[in-house]
Structures are given as C-alpha cells and as structure tokens.
C-alpha cells in the first residue's frame, strides 16, 4: 500500500488507492475510507463508484468529499469535519498524493 501520514490518532492520509487495495486497507484495521479526489482528475484514475463498491465489499464505511480547488477546500471542510465525527475509526482518507487531504483536515480542524 502507499505511504500513510497520521493526522491524528485514528485518522490517516494517503495517496490514490485502487479498488484492489481496499481489502488491504481493511486488513490493516481501517474501518472507514474518505475519498477526497474528484472523479476524472487524470486519465486512468479509478472512479469513486468503483472504489466505493470495493471498499464496501471489504466491510469499510465510505464518504466521498471531493476537493479540486481552494474554494472546494473551504466549502468541504465542514463535511470533512462531520465525517471525522461520524465514521468509525480508524479512518483512511485519500487524494492523489495525500497532501490535499492533509490540507482539508487542517481546514476542518481550524473551523
């Protein structure tokens, strides 16, 4: 699996996941996955619906909170904060590299 960064206890960020990795995510003890990468951002990227189906098949809860711009970051920070409260932990959130997810986490925590 790709490298992960712990944002807080029970919340990690990582880069793009594949459908095949969702079982590995569950095997590592994660209970939820949040997708922060919008569909169609680059050719060959898996669609959220495919990732969500694989995650649910692996027993993971899911949320799709796409962020494509700084405006999206501000607009989606509340939804991300709510997901952090509502989803069972540990949570693995992802985007292309993990950096956007980390920025979204900081925005959600700051307010």
DSSP strand pairing (11-14 vs 32-35):
unpaired
Give yes or no for residue 1 having a pLDDT over 70.
no
Per-chain mean pLDDT for the chain = 95
Total domains present in the chain: 1
Neighbours of 29 (CB within 10 A): 9
Give yes or no for residue 111 having a pLDDT over 80.
no
Q: What pLDDT does residue 2 have?
A: 65
CATH of the domain at 12: 3.90.190.10
Q: What is the arithmetic mean of pLDDT over 6-22? A: 97
What's the token pair of residue 16?
Answer: 């793009």
E strands of the chain, at which residues?
Answer: 4-8, 11-14, 32-35, 61-64, 91-94
CA distance 54 to 44: 17
Give yes or no for residue 79 having a pLDDT over 80.
yes
Give yes or no for residue 69 having a pLDDT over 70.
yes
pLDDT in tens, 24-64: 999 999 999 999 999 999 999 999 999 999 999 999 999 99
Q: What is the arithmetic mean of pLDDT over 15-25? A: 97
pLDDT band at 109 (very low <50, low <70, confident <90, very high): very high
pLDDT band at 3 (very low <50, low <70, confident <90, very high): confident
Q: Residue 38 sits in which domain range?
A: 4-110
């Amino acid at each position: 699996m790709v490298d992960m960064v712990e944002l807080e206890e029970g919340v990690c960020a990582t880069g793009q996941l594949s459908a095949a990795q969702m079982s590995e995510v569950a095997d590592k003890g994660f209970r939820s996955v949040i997708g922060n990468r919008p569909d169609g951002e680059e050719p060959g990227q898996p669609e959220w619906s495919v990732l969500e189906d694989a995650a649910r098949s692996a027993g993971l809860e899911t949320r799709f909170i796409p962020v494509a711009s700084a405006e999206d970051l501000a607009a989606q920070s509340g939804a991300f904060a709510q997901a952090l409260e509502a989803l069972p932990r540990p949570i693995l959130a992802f985007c292309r590299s993990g950096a956007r997810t980390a920025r979204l986490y900081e925005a959600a925590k700051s307010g």
